[in-house]
Every structure is written in structure tokens, then in C-alpha cells.
Structure 1
Amino acid sequence: MNSTPGIVSSDPRSIAVRSIQIMADGEPADFEELVHPDAVNREDQVEPPAARVGGPKGFQATALWLREAFAGLHYDIHHVVAEGDLVALNCTMSGRHVAPFVTYTPDGGVGTAFPPTGRTFAATQSHWLRIQDGKVIEHWANRDDLGQAEQLGWVPPTPVYLFRMARAKSKAKRG
């Protein structure tokens, strides 16, 4: 992979790695450079409505959603495997929970709101990316959401945390 920020080789592995890294540190131009205008994120079902659009804007909205809740968001890439236009990455996402993390329902309403715990986490993930025309055209993932929830104190929830969740959800619904 090219080590110069903002410059990505045409190698599918490099494109895939950088497309994950920009979730933590990318600017709008990075998303335009790396994400195909017709790109689909197969993981957007619980994300904010702004993240449910295709292309660079949707992927950037996902990044902003994650960055808002998790300070110091970072991805350590452990393995990258490519076959043709498909690239699989094994990584660890880490950060500190500093703001409410809100999930959404299929119709775009507020699903669950996890108020900040201040705790750090490091959760394993596998990302699958299809590359077309030198850009990400499709993304889906497998994540250790339960491990992340346990590290952040979301499960098992204490009665006090359940109350805080209800307040956070009510606040998120008000906008």
C-alpha cells in the first residue's frame, strides 16, 4: 500500500485497506476518491438515514456517525486477502465511547440509544469489499458486536444504565 495519505494505488488490497482506514480519519475528498458513486453498504440497516444513501456520501455519513460516538476511532488491519475484485480484511476497531451511540429502525426512526460510558473497546471485525473501477462498489461486514457491548458496559445492563438508555433514546428522538 502506498504510504502517502490521500494517494492510493490501483491495487484492490490497498484500496480496501484505505477505505476502512478513512472511516476513522478520512475527509470528503477521500470518500470521493475511494468509494464508487454506485457503492452499496450492506451494513446500513441500523445506521442513520444519511448513511443509507449509496456512494461516497453514505459511506462518509457512516464514518461521521461512528466518529461522533467513539473518540480515537482506529482500525488495526491484521490480514488482507484478495481474489479478483473481492477483498476481505480482518481488523480490530477500537475507540472510547464518548457520546450517545444511536441505532436506527428500518424506517429511519430511533432504535436504541447507548449513552456514553467513557470506556474503551477493541472489537474484531471482518470487512468484505468488492472493487470496481478502482473504487469500493460494495461492502458488508461481520463484527463482534456482543464483545464490543460487553467491553462498553452495555450488556448486561444495570438498572441505572437502562434508565440512562431510555433518557438517551428519548433525547435522540427529539433530535
Structure 2
Amino acid sequence: MDADLAAVSSDLKSVAVRSIHHMAGGSRAEFDDVVHPDGFTRERKAAPPSARGEGPAAFYELACWLRAAIEDLSYEIHHAVTEGDLVAVSSTMRGRHTGTIVFYGGQAEVTQAFAPTGKTFAITQSHWFRMKDGKIIEHWANRDDLGMARQLGWVPPTPLYLMRCARLKRQARKRLPV
């Protein structure tokens, strides 16, 4: 690989890795540096309406949604590789579930709410980024959601936990605009 291609590859990896760390603690302005104005994440379909758009603001809203439910959120990066305009990053996400996590459906309806458990978790993830003009234009991820659910006590749930989640789901639905 010649020096110019190696530099571009390194820059793209840096942008992708920074964006993952921004999810844990980046400011709104920091997302401007890494997300293209037309950038979007395929993960937005389960996110709140404010995080379903495009551009840095939507990515920041997604980060705020995660941070509201997960204290001490952090990512350990294991590998980052590029091929053309595609960057793949292998990571471990860690945190403590201290706030309600509300998931949404295709029409932004509340589909599930998980009451805080106070438990910690560590799950592997792979993130995929398509880049344009040196910024993220598209993102998607593969996560160990079942592993997270088991570590947080969502699976198998106790009857009491199911009742708490059902109450929180009703409350979240009431807060949605009509």
C-alpha cells in the first residue's frame, strides 16, 4: 500500500474509533467532526424519535439515549480495519444499567421498557462504517444483545421485574406525542 492510501486508511479508522468513544462521552460538537451531514445509523429503528434522523445531531441524540440508561459507559477497541470506504471495528462495550431503557418500533411506538437493574455488563460488538468525505455516512452494528440481557437480568426475568417493566412501558407510552 502506498503512503497516501495508508494515510487515508489511518484517518478513516481514526474517525470511526473516535465516533464510538463519542457515544460514551462526546459532546454535540465532537459528532460534527466525525459524522457526515447526511450520515445515518441503521441502529436508529429501535431508538427514540429524536435519534432517527440524519447527521451529527441524530448520532448525538442516540448517544444521549444510551447515556441516560447506562452509567460508566465505555468502549474498548480491539481491532479496526479498512477496505476502501468501509471501516470495521471490533469492540467491547461496558457499563452499568442505572436508567430505564425504552425501545421503539418502526412507527416510533414504544415496544419495550427495561427497568434499571444496577448491574454491570460487558458485551462484544462489531461496528461497520461507510465513509464519505472523511466522515461517517452510514453505520450498522452487530451486538451481543442476548449476552447483555442475561448479564442485566432481563433474561430470564422474574415476575416482579416483568411488572416493573410493564409499568415503565405504560409510562413511556403516555409521554409520546399524539
Please classify the TM superposition score into its range, dividing by the shorter chain length.
over 0.9
Aligned counterparts of 2:157 and 2:126: Cα–Cα separation in 1? 26
1:91 matched to 2:52? The reply is: no
Measured after TM superposition, the shift of residue 24 of structure 1 is 0.4
Could you tell me whether the CA contact under 8 Å between 1:74 and 1:94 is conserved in 2? yes
Aligned residue type for 1:141: A
Q: Which residue identity is paired with 1:60?
A: Y
**TM-score normalised to the size of structure 2?**
0.91
Q: In the alignment, what sits opposite 1:131?
A: 131
Of 138-147 and 9-18, deviating more is 9-18
Superposed displacement of residue 101, structure 1: 0.4
> Which has the higher Rg, Structure 1 or Structure 2?
2
- Cα distance between partner residues in 2 of 1:17 and 1:85: 15
**CA deviation profile, 1:20-65 (whole Å, cap 9, x unmatched):** 1100010011011110000021111111011100111111111000
Shift of 1:10: 7.2
Unaligned runs of 5+ in 1: 1-8
- Which segments of 5 or more consecutive residues in structure 2 lack a partner in the other structure? 1-8
Counting only pairs closer than 5 Å after superposition, residues 81-160 of structure 1 correspond to structure 2 as 81-160=81-160
Deviations 1:61-114 (A, max 9, x none): 110000000001101001111111100000011100001000001101111000
Contact 1:12-1:131 at 8 Å conserved across structures: yes
Q: Which runs of structure 2 are paired with 1:25-40 in the superposition (5 Å)?
A: 25-40=25-40
Q: Is the 8 A contact 1:10 1:134 kept in 2?
A: no
- Supply the AA of the counterpart residue of 1:11: D
How far apart, in 2, do the equivalents of 1:109 and 1:50 lie?
Answer: 13
Take 1:132 and 1:106, find their aligned partners in 2: how far apart are those partners?
A: 27
Write the distance in 2 (CA, Å) between the matches of 1:12 and 1:117: 37
In the TM superposition, 1:70-85 aligns within 5 A as: 70-85=70-85
CA distance in 2, matches of 1:40, 1:10: 22
- Equivalent pairs counted in the alignment come to 167
For the aligned residues, what is the CA RMSD? 1.2
Q: 1:90 and 1:14 mapped to 2: Cα distance?
A: 13
Give runs of ≥4 in structure 1 deviating > 4 Å: none
| 8 Å Cα contact 1:128/1:141 also seen in 2 | yes
1:106-146 superposed Cα distances (whole Å, 9 cap, x missing partner): 10111100000000000110000011111111100100000
